[in-house]
Amino acid sequence: MNNNSPKTKQTILITGASSGIGKATAIYFSQKGWNVAATMRDPSKENELTGHPGIRLYKLDVTDSDSVILAFKNITNDFGKIDVLVNNAGFGADGIFEAMDDEFIRKQFETNVFGLLRMTREAMKHMRPNRSGTIVQVASVGGRVAFPLYSIYHASKWAVEGFSESLQFEAEQFNIKIKIIEPGAIKTEFYGRSRAFIKPTDTNDYDAFTAKIEKLNMETGMKGAAPETVARTIFRAVTGNSKKLRYPVAYPANILLPMKRFLPASWYYAFVRKSYGI
């Protein structure tokens, strides 16, 4: 077979590749000579990625089981096999829990949790017969610590952490690695157009609290690290020989996770309250 054939190179499938961490990861792996299956809900709107070698765009909606199955079929037809799955698709929901209805909460979990589960299940079915593969879950520092106004988002990311930690034990017998990436503040659309903020319309009781929290959250986001920082960490997790499960990336993950681990709980929560002025 021709050494330049796509089927002689390693292949990575990335969900949510239209922006942010997903797009940065697609470009980074392309630069490293990989085949990249960059998936998104509407590939017709993407112009930048097609200019990079080895990248092909695929339509994929992680909330639709048929879409997931079809995408895996198309990608394996084109590239032969999938060596790495990066579950990156997701969005940030924040606001006052009291104002969140069941439909909104389901939407958060449908994308951040059930979509990730669907993709992981299909990847396991594909990788198990090959006795090799890596599944990368893009979680969050918010999968192990919690901030005000992010209750539902945290619930979804804590679910991803627990699921992935358990899954590693059944995956490792087939030489399938599970890696959890835990970004801190990353300058992406998480703080912009993909953000879903909910506040009550029938009371002003939360207004003063919300104003304090939002100010710090947005300031932190705007000062966040570039998404390429996460892309490099994903590449290191995928290509290294470490059996490490979790990979914190950028501020405040590199500070808060050790603090929560070593400080008494009351001290840690006091630190969070003081940071927000609440």
Hey, what are 60's tokens?
């994929």
Mention every residue, 6+ apart, whose C-beta is less than 8 A from residue 132: 83, 174, 175, 176
For residue 136, give the DSSP letter. Answer: E
Hey, what are 84's tokens?
């790495």
pLDDT at residue 224, as a whole number: 86
d(CA 152, CA 105): 7
Q: Amino acid identity, residue 15?
A: T
For residue 76, give the DSSP letter. Answer: H
Model confidence pLDDT, tens digit, residues 21-59: 999 999 999 999 999 999 999 999 999 999 999 999 999
pLDDT at residue 190, as a whole number: 63
DSSP-derived 3-state class of residue 187: coil
Model confidence pLDDT, tens digit, residues 137-188: 999 999 999 999 999 999 999 999 999 999 999 999 999 999 999 999 998 7
Question: With contact defined as beta carbons under 8 Å apart, do 48 and 81 qualify?
Answer: no
In a domain, 218, yes or no: yes
Does the pLDDT at position 2 exceed 60? no
Hey, what are 266's tokens?
């009351």
In a domain, 1, yes or no: no
- Mean pLDDT calculated for residue range 234-242: 96
pLDDT at residue 1, as a whole number: 43
Which structural domain range is residue 213 located in? 6-276
In a domain, 221, yes or no: yes
Model confidence pLDDT, tens digit, residues 71-128: 999 999 999 999 999 999 999 899 999 999 999 999 999 999 999 999 999 999 999 9
In a domain, 63, yes or no: yes
d(CA 100, CA 180): 28
Model confidence pLDDT, tens digit, residues 173-230: 999 999 999 999 998 766 556 678 899 999 999 999 999 898 888 888 778 899 999 9
pLDDT at residue 29, as a whole number: 98
For residue 90, give the DSSP letter. Answer: -
pLDDT at residue 193, as a whole number: 62
In a domain, 145, yes or no: yes
CATH code of residue 246? 3.40.50.720
Query: What would the DSSP string read from start to end of 143-166?
Result: GTS--TT-HHHHHHHHHHHHHHHH
Q: How many domains does the chain have?
A: 1
pLDDT at residue 216, as a whole number: 84
For residue 110, give the DSSP letter. Answer: I
Question: With contact defined as beta carbons under 8 Å apart, do 54 and 32 qualify?
Answer: no
Task: Enumerate the active-site residues.
Answer: 153, 157
